[in-house]
Amino acid sequence: MRIFSEHDLSQLNTLGLPCVAEQFAEADSSDSLLAVLSEARNNAVTVLGGGSNLILPPYLHGMVVQPTMAERHFEPLANGGVRVRVGAGVNWHELVIAAASRGLWGIENLALIPGHCGAAPIQNIGAYGVELSDVLECVELVDIRTGKRVSIDADECEFGYRDSVFKRRLDSCVVITSITLRLSRRPQPRLGYGDLVERVGGSPSALDVAEAVGAVRREKLPDPRQLANAGSFFKNPLVSARQVQMLLSSYPDMPHYLQSDGRSKLAAGWMIDQCGLKGWREGHFGVHDRQALVLVHHGGGSAQELLDFSATVANEVNRRFGVTLEREPRLAGGGEAEWVN
C-alpha cells in the first residue's frame, strides 16, 4: 500500500473535472483498506470507484481511497442458479460480459453502465427494466467506524429507485469490498424496453441481449473518453397519479411509466428536450445533442460552473412542467466521508 500526497484525480473521473486529493491510496484487499483507514485516522474519507457518477471539487481534503479488489468467483447452485462473488474494483461492464458469455442471465440488461461493482449497490443501478436489487444477494463491507468486516443481505440494503441505505443511514460509514449476485442459466430475457426485441430476435442468448443493450447505449450516449460526461445527470422523476394526469392533459404524448406504488416515472430527458435545451451549450458545459439527459464537459470548466449550468436546466424544466429534477451524480467533498460512484 502506498499513500500519495497532493494526488491529481483529473483522470479518475469521467467528467474530467480538475481535482487534487490531499491524500490518495488504492486498497486491493480488506486488510489494505483497514490500513488506509487507520492512516486516515479522523480525517474525511472519500471512497472513489470508477469515477463515473461524481462531481469533484478543485481540492479534496482528507483521504481518497479507491477499492481495487479484483476477485471473481462463480459458484454453481442447484436448479441452474449460479452465485457470483465479485470484488469492488471489478469493472461492472466487464462483469456483465463475463456472465453473459457463460450463459448466465440476470444482469445482461445492465451492459455498458460505467463504474465499478462496489458502487453498483449504492445507486441501485438499473436500465431496461432491470435493477441490481433484482439479483443482489449480499454486500460485504468494512465499517469505517469500527473497522469490522460485515456482510448484509439485499433486504438490509433498503433499495429504491436509484437509492439505497448506502445513500442514507450508512452514508459515510462503510466501504463496500465485494458484492454477491445470484444469476441463472435458465433463459429469462426482458425485452420490453426500447427496440430490444427487434434487435435480438425471438430466442436471444444473454450475450445477444448484452451486446444489443451496449449498441443502443453507444448510439445514444457519448463515450466519456471522447466527450467527458457522467452519464445520466438527472434522475427520472417520480410523480403522483394526480400530477401525471394534469401533465398529460397538456402534454398527451409525454412518456410516463406506471410504478407499483401508483406513481409514474417521467422521462427527464424528454422534458429537457421539450424545453429546447438539447444541444444547448453555455461556457464549458452543454446538453448532449443526442441524449438530453446527459450533460457534457467540453473542457476547462469547474464543478461550480457545472452546478450552475445544471441548475439552469432544472429550473427551465420546473418552470414549464412544475416538476423538480434531482441530480444523479454525487458531489464529493462535503466535509465528511461520502460515497461516490
Catalytic residues: 162, 232, 328
Helix (H) / strand (E) element for 54: namely strand 54-55
- All three cell numbers of 179, joined, read 458484492
Strand 130-131 and strand 126-127: the pairing is antiparallel
Sign of CA dihedral 311, 312, 314, 315: positive
Tell me the Ramachandran region of residue 103: left when phi exceeds 0, alpha when psi lies from -120 to 50, beta otherwise: left
Determine the Cα–Cα distance for residues 9 and 24; give it in Å rounded to an integer. 9
Determine the Cα–Cα distance for residues 97 and 288; give it in Å rounded to an integer. 27
In 3D space, the residue among 72, 117, 70, 75 whose CA is nearest the CA of residue 92 turns out to be 117
By residue count, the chain amounts to: 341
CB 139, CB 118: distance < 8 Å: no
In 3D space, the residue among 330, 55, 72 whose CA is nearest the CA of residue 180 turns out to be 72
CB 132, CB 126: distance < 8 Å: yes
Write down the number of H helices and E strands in the chain: 8, 21
Cα separations in angstroms, 201 against 19, 107, 217, 308: 46, 19, 18, 44
